[in-house]
Amino acid sequence: MDCSLKAMRFGVGCLACVGRQAPRRHRDNGLMNQLDALKQCTTVVADTGDFQQISQYQPQDATTNPSLILKAVLMPEYRALLQETLQQHPGAAVDEQMDHLLVRFGCNILKHIPGRVSTEVDARLSFDKDATVARARRIMALYQAQGVGPERVLIKIAATWEGIQAAAVLEQEGIHTNLTLLFAFAQAVACGQAGVTLISPFVGRIYDWYKKTAGPQWDEAANAGANDPGVKSVRHIYNHFKKHGIATEVMGASFRNVGQIVALAGCDLLTISPELLAQLQASSSPVPPALSADAARAMDLPNVHLNEAQFRLALNEDAMASDKLAEGIRAFCADVKKLEVLMQA
Would you please indicate which residues are annotated as catalytic (active-site) residues?
A: 156
Q: In whole angstroms, how far apart are CA 236 and each of 8, 61, 166, 267, 319?
A: 25, 24, 25, 11, 18
Q: How far apart are CA 225 and CA 289, in angstroms?
A: 13
Cα gap 46→35, rounded to integer Å: 12
**Whole-angstrom Cα distance, residue 340 to residue 344?**
6
Q: What are the backbone angles phi and psi of residue 257, rounded to the nearest 5°?
A: -160, 165
Element (H, E) at 250: strand 249-252
> Cα separation of 130 and 44, whole Å?
32
Running DSSP on this structure, what letter comes out for residue 31?
Answer: P
C-alpha to C-alpha distances, 234 to 60, 147, 201, 219, 250, nearest whole angstrom: 20, 35, 6, 21, 8
Q: Which helix (H) or strand (E) holds 269?
A: strand 269-272
Let me know: does 220 contact 208? Beta carbons within 8 Å. Answer: no
Strands (E) in 43-164, as ranges, are 43-47, 61-63, 117-120, 153-158
User: Cβ(282)–Cβ(270) under 8 Å?
Assistant: no
Asked if residue 329 lies in contact with residue 163, where contact means CB atoms within 8 angstroms, the answer is no
H/E element, 23: none
Q: Are 201 and 237 in contact (CB under 8 A)?
A: yes
Q: Which residues have C-beta within 8 Å of that of residue 92, sequence separation ≥ 6?
A: 100
